[in-house]
Chain A
Amino acid sequence: MSWVSKFLTSSIGRKLLMSLTGLFLVVFLVVHLIGNLQLMVADQGKAFNIYAEFMTTNPLIKTTSYGLYFFILLHAVQGIILWQKNRAARGTRYAVPNKVSSTFASRNMAWLGIIIFVFLVLHMGQFWFRMKMGDVPPVTYDGQTVKNLYAIVAEAFSQWWYVVIYVVSMIVIGFHLLHGFQSAFQTLGLNHRKYTPFIKGLGVIYSIIVPLAFAIIPLYFFFMIKS
């Protein structure tokens, strides 16, 4: 085995992959959120649709998006492998589970991750797949015809069950981030008496603000736009 594959399959190497892909997704969520917030602009979706057109046609963004798909899959597959190996390392389970010495999120990262993955499949099917392959009605702004993704989003967010799934998924993502954010830094070896409290604090703020901002959008559509 070459040193590279030995490194990447070692316990610390696997954690490194989780940490780096996780941090990439943390950054991605911010970019995604900034894009989504344009849905709230009161212009019948003009800003959002032009932005969506840019995101699906710009070659640099397209290249990055392939990286994103790869990193999501790597994070998910590696996570499942870790989960399996870690369960096997325990062997017989304890009769009395220990709930006092760790947080709910940290013990349930795999379950939270699985829920997020299921949501992602639904989410991609709803928007991404239709944008790429499906029948999105066109709309013309200043002579430029683009796909009206805004209409698709507005339609999805007018269904109560989709809004519920979306909001619940955001809560799940919030818990996943609550552990994941600071955990990624610890894995990288970035534990410092001066900076770690700051990283942990930032992680908590991030894990609340970002999912909350995502969740506000479907709620806004359901309650404000519909009526």
Chain B
Amino acid sequence: MKITLKVWRQKNIQSKGQFETYQVEANEHMSFLEMMDVLNESLIAEKKDPVSFEHDCREGICGTCNMVINGQPHGPMKGTTVCQLHMRSFKDGDTIVVEPWRAKAFPLVKDLVVDRSAFDRIIQAGGYVSVNTGQAQDANAIPIEKDTASDAFDAATCIGCGACVAACPNASAMLFTSAKVSHLAQLPQGKVESKKRVQAMVNQMDDEGFGMCSNVGACEAECPKEISIENIALMNREYFGSVVGSETSV
């Protein structure tokens, strides 16, 4: 199948970027990243600079690959990352526009690569459980109701890819932050620090320059792990409870 690709090329954050148009001969069994590999092979053969893009596991679980394909983070397939998107989702002769995540808080590094360390700093601010040294206790020693465990697990499936920020018209990181807050707040091990955690993480999220959620819901629609915006409501409740309803302040 013949594909016309319009790819965002930008040397670095200082330089001005623009779209370059390429013709790629792909087949429908290729993943989108394999199709990008084919493009890069041909660019290298022509002694041109290949397109920089991030990838790691190519199994849909690491959250490294990130591209906005025809306006949609991770492309048109629901509940998958770019690496799990296959060319059979497109037609012969299609023109595909590929852009990087667009957010002030994710400064562009090169071409399709953005710096997502803002997410790391949000996690560092509170997305953990303090564990004292010593023997780990038996996992079943603390009873957790099945539904609660499942909700916490669903939130925990967030891979931190940043598609929520890329999809949100406000470049808000609330789905990401709320997934982490919600995952830990629902479990006994995480509840201990939940009041401090939610404030620390929200403060960090605000400091990073992400936008503010207006409940558009594009994040949950584009999330490759289909994290629900129920988590944002839970984070808001946690935040109100922590700031207004407790003496904790961070």
| Chain-B contact segment, one of A87-95, A115-123, A169-177 | A87-95
Contact A98 B218 (CB under 8 A): yes
In A9-61, which residues have CB < 8 Å from any B CB?
10-16
Contact residue among A16, A90, A106, A182 (Cβ-Cβ distance under 8 Å from B211): A90
Contact A102 B216 (CB under 8 A): yes
With an 8 A cutoff between CB atoms, is A82 at the interface? yes
Please give, as numbers and ranges, the residues of chain A lying within 8 Å of B214 by CB-CB distance: 15, 82, 86, 106, 109, 183
Of the listed residues B70, B172, B230, B243, the one surrounded by the most CB atoms of chain A closer than 10 A to its CB is B243
With an 8 A cutoff between CB atoms, is A186 at the interface? yes
Interface residues as binary, B55-93 with A (CB distance below 8 Å gives 1, 0 otherwise): 000000000000010111000000000000000000000
| Chain-A contact segment, one of B32-40, B152-160, B163-171, B186-194 | B163-171
A9 to B167, CA, bound (A): 24
Contact A189 B240 (CB under 8 A): yes
The smallest beta-carbon distance between A9 and chain B, in angstroms, is 9
A182 to B229, CA, bound (A): 13
Contact B102 A102 (CB under 8 A): no
Contact A98 B167 (CB under 8 A): yes
The smallest beta-carbon distance between B171 and chain A, in angstroms, is 4
With an 8 A cutoff between CB atoms, is B5 at the interface? no
Of the listed residues B6, B169, B230, B249, the one surrounded by the most CB atoms of chain A closer than 10 A to its CB is B169
Known: A100-B72, A102-B216. A3 touches B233 (CB 8 A): no
With an 8 A cutoff between CB atoms, is B51 at the interface? no
Known: A7-B244, A85-B211, A86-B211. A94 touches B216 (CB 8 A): no
A57 to B65, CA, bound (A): 64
With an 8 A cutoff between CB atoms, is A179 at the interface? yes
Contact B71 A106 (CB under 8 A): no
The smallest beta-carbon distance between A97 and chain B, in angstroms, is 6
Contact B170 A12 (CB under 8 A): no
Interface residues as binary, A99-118 with B (CB distance below 8 Å gives 1, 0 otherwise): 11111001101000000000
Please give, as numbers and ranges, the residues of chain A lying within 8 Å of B6 by CB-CB distance: 95
With an 8 A cutoff between CB atoms, is A212 at the interface? no
Contact A90 B102 (CB under 8 A): yes
A90 to B99, CA, bound (A): 13
In B86-142, which residues have CB < 8 Å from any A CB?
97, 99, 102-105
Contact A10 B211 (CB under 8 A): no
Contact residue among B206, B222, B229, B236 (Cβ-Cβ distance under 8 Å from A188): B236
A-B contacts, CB under 8 A, total: 137
Contact B71 A107 (CB under 8 A): no
A10 to B232, CA, bound (A): 15
Please give, as numbers and ranges, the residues of chain A lying within 8 Å of B212 by CB-CB distance: 11, 14-15, 82, 85-86, 89
With an 8 A cutoff between CB atoms, is B239 at the interface? yes
With an 8 A cutoff between CB atoms, is A187 at the interface? yes
The smallest beta-carbon distance between B158 and chain A, in angstroms, is 17
Smallest Cβ-Cβ distance to A88: which chain B residue? B104
Contact B216 A107 (CB under 8 A): yes
The smallest beta-carbon distance between B177 and chain A, in angstroms, is 9
Please give, as numbers and ranges, the residues of chain B lying within 8 Å of A14 by CB-CB distance: 212
In A65-94, which residues have CB < 8 Å from any B CB?
82, 85-86, 88-94
Q: Which residues of A contact B (CB under 8 A)?
A: 3, 7, 10-16, 82, 85-86, 88-103, 106-107, 109, 179, 182-183, 186-191, 193
Name 19 interchain pairs, CB-CB below 8 A, sorted by A.
A10-B243, A12-B239, A12-B240, A15-B214, A88-B104, A89-B103, A89-B105, A90-B104, A90-B170, A91-B103, A91-B171, A94-B102, A95-B99, A98-B218, A100-B221, A182-B215, A189-B236, A189-B240, A191-B229
In the complex, the 5 A-B pairs of residues with the closest C-beta atoms, listed nearest first: A89-B211, A191-B233, A189-B237, A86-B170, A101-B221
